[in-house]
Amino acid sequence: MVPVDDIRARARDLLQSGKVRAVLGYRRGTAGLLAEPAFMTTAEETAALVLDPTCVENLALYLVNEKKRMKHARQSDRRPLGIVAKGCDSRAITVLLQENHIRRDEVVVLGVSCEAGGMVDTRKLNKALRGKVATQVRFDSEGDINVSHLGGSTTLPARDVLANRCLECARAYPLDADFLFGEKVEERPYGPRFTAVAAFAETSREERSAFWDAHFERCIRCYACRAVCPMCYCDECVVDSTSFIVGPTTTADEKADRVRWINRSATRSENAMYHMVRAMHLAGRCTDCGECERVCPVNIPLRLLNTMLEREALEMFQYTPGLDAEQPSLISSFRDGDPNDFVR
């Protein structure tokens, strides 16, 4: 069991000693079962810090968002940010370091191991409870998940309610942490990486095409997948209609004639283009935190796209993102032995 009191004590200490300007962690929310991200700026606030299977959010996103915010802040506190990070979240931080988006001394990582557990998938939970609303979840001593709901409680096998990415997670603890809470458990009782995408890749091309057609048809382009992704940190995005080109010196003609790669209409072809662009931009960078898939209001299984590309990165280039901040990123490095038979 990860000792939550130890994390609270460390967070309190970091804030009291003034070593960090805030600690990013989790606390109970009011919106539902899941914990909510919290910026804790005073030692008192750390009493509310929680860590349980509902702490799904990848807080590494806020390192990126804070950097953007600080750029415009009139006064800025340049002390580092403390951040509670699970294995997948810490790999995202490492990718940000690999890409020189942040510096290591800007962050104090309070790494937490998921040990043999992981985070719940509320959709699986809803399905398993057939509409009953879960109010609390915790691992029991057997490694199963105990769920309280209005009117009672029930115990479900962890495999049935953990997020797919957790079932496939190979490193459920942070590799690079200033403080580590919990055990580094190497052997996990679930499946290997890429289980879901391997099964999907077995289906025929026609089936896959029909599958994605149906899903992209339903996308409403709320951009929650983009907004929640710590790797989607570009100031300008190809899908945005104004920020892409308009600046103080842009002329009216330039605005009128600008190339629009993707129309605003949420139609299948435009949506497919958006998701393909995003997937390609994440190749060799996605650490499989699964946030894109979790936040999609219409349940598009976006993780399949990203893990497909990560599988290619591993098979073709023996590359896994987020393991070592000193390692050059996949896209920025070339080795003589790299396969190049796809170059024509």
Partner 1 sequence: MDAILQKESLGRWIAKLQERGEVYAPEFVEDAWEFTKVERGASVELDHTNTVLPAKGFVFPQREVLYRFRIENGKTPELTDTELSVKPMVVFGVRPCDGRATVRNDRVFTCGVSDPYYQARRDSVVFIGLACNAPPSPNCFCVAVGGSPCSEDGLDVLMTDLDGRYHVKALTDKGRDVVNAASDLFQAATAADRNEVSNAQVAALEYPQRSISAMDLVVAALKRNFESPLWDQLARTCIGCGACTYLCPTCHCFDINDEVTSKSPLTGARVRTWDNCQFPDFTMHSSGHNPREDTGARLRQRICHKLLYFVETHNMQQCTGCGRCITHCPVGIDIVRIANVMEEGVWQ
| Nearer residue to partner 1 within complex by CB, 6 or 36 | 36
Minimum distance of partner 1 from residue 218's CB (angstroms): 8
Q: Binding partner 1 by CB under 8 A: which of 4, 198, 266, 323?
A: 266
String marking each residue 185-214 x if it binds partner 1 according to CB under 8 A: ------------------------------
Our finding on whether 269 is near partner 1 (CB under 8 A) is: no
Minimum distance of partner 1 from residue 299's CB (angstroms): 4
* Segment lying near partner 1 (by CB under 8 A), choices 4-12, 61-69, 137-145, 152-160: 61-69
* Segment lying near partner 1 (by CB under 8 A), choices 98-106, 158-166, 180-188, 259-267: 259-267
Minimum distance of partner 1 from residue 126's CB (angstroms): 7
Our finding on whether 144 is near partner 1 (CB under 8 A) is: no
Q: Which of residues 270-299 bind partner 1 (CB under 8 A)?
A: 291, 294-295, 297-299
CA dist 36 and 181 (Å) reads 20
The strand order across the sheet containing 107-112 reads 35-40, 22-28, 81-85, 107-112, 179-181
CB 82 within 8 A of CB 11: yes
Cα torsion through 43, 48, 51, 53, rounded to 10: -160
Q: Binding partner 1 by CB under 8 A: which of 10, 12, 188, 226?
A: 226
| Nearer residue to partner 1 within complex by CB, 114 or 262 | 262
Q: Binding partner 1 by CB under 8 A: which of 7, 23, 62, 303?
A: 62
Q: Which of residues 101-140 bind partner 1 (CB under 8 A)?
A: 123, 126-127, 131, 133
Helices (H) and strands (E) in the chain, counts: 13, 8
Q: Binding partner 1 by CB under 8 A: which of 17, 30, 100, 204?
A: 30
> Which residue is associated with the tokens 């399949």?
304
CA dist 65 and 234 (Å) reads 11
DSSP 142: T
Our finding on whether 224 is near partner 1 (CB under 8 A) is: yes
List, as own/partner pairs, every contact residues 11-16 make where C-beta atoms lie below 8 angstroms and the sequence separation is at least 24, other chains included: 11/40, 11/46, 11/49, 11/82, 11/84, 11/110, 12/43, 12/46, 14/82, 14/108, 15/40, 15/41, 15/42, 15/43, 15/46, 15/82, 16/43
Residues in contact with partner 1, counted by CB under 8 A, come to a total of 48
The strand order across the sheet containing 152-156 reads 134-139, 145-149, 152-156
Minimum distance of partner 1 from residue 44's CB (angstroms): 11
Type of residue numbered 254: E
Our finding on whether 61 is near partner 1 (CB under 8 A) is: yes
Q: Is 47 exposed, middle or buried (0-12, 13-18, 19+ CB in 10 A)?
A: exposed
Our finding on whether 11 is near partner 1 (CB under 8 A) is: no
- Is the four-CA dihedral 54, 60, 65, 66 of positive or negative sign? positive
Minimum distance of partner 1 from residue 152's CB (angstroms): 16
Instruction: Give the Cβ contact number of residue 262 at 10 Å.
Output: 18
CB 122 within 8 A of CB 31: no
Residues that bind partner 1 (CB under 8 A): 29-32, 34, 36-39, 57, 61-62, 65, 69, 72, 123, 126-127, 131, 133, 218, 220, 222-224, 226-228, 240-243, 246-248, 250, 255, 263-267, 291, 294-295, 297-299
